[in-house]
């Protein structure tokens, strides 16, 4: 079996995350355009329509146009940084998860000026802020990135 080169694995992972994120957002936006929230696991999980003008969990949502441009630049910067890190020996698929998530939300910001979130986990009156697949990829990627950093042998 042929080995996939580091840059290819980074780009394949990022592209897969971007495609899955945008496809899921398209599907759920269209599904929920004709209904209200859809309960998938009663009392725990449903699909909702939430437009987030901020960053993770609605942080900085009150910022004006300058904030949106800053988010765009930060997203592009994150993609570049994680590509660089993947070339310098960090796991290319982990870096690709983070970059793909950043690109998924970047596409929303470019086309809509805000990010579409739809995954709503809750228990009774306690709700985790709604999120999407791009957010999940970023979160999982960052956790794996940090775990790999702690488990890597220290330089001599």
Catalytic residue among 21, 108, 117, 120: 117
117 noted as active-site residue: yes
Whether 97 and 91 have beta carbons less than 8 Å apart is answered as no
CA distance 124 to 47: 16
Give me the helix-helix angle, 6-32 and 133-151, nearest 10°.
150
Q: Helix %, strand %, coil % for the chain, to 5?
A: 60, 15, 25
CA distance 81 to 99: 9
21 noted as active-site residue: no
Any idea which residues carry the catalytic annotation?
117, 135
């Amino acid at each position: 079996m042929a080995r996939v080169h580091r840059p290819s694995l980074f780009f394949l992972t990022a592209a897969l995350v971007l495609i899955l994120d945008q496809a899921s957002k398209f599907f759920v936006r269209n599904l929920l355009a004709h209904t209200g929230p859809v309960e998938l696991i009663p009392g725990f999980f449903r699909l909702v329509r939430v437009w987030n003008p901020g960053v993770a969990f609605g942080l900085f949502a009150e910022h004006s146009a300058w904030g949106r441009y800053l988010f765009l630049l930060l997203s592009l910067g994150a993609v570049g940084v994680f590509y660089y890190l993947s070339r310098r020996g960090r796991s290319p698929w982990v870096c690709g998860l983070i970059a793909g998530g950043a690109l998924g939300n970047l596409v929303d910001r470019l086309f809509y000026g805000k990010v579409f979130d739809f995954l709503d986990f809750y228990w009774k009156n306690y709700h985790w802020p709604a999120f999407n697949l791009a957010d999940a990829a970023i979160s999982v990627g960052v956790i794996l990135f940090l775990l790999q950093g702690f488990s890597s042998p220290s330089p001599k």
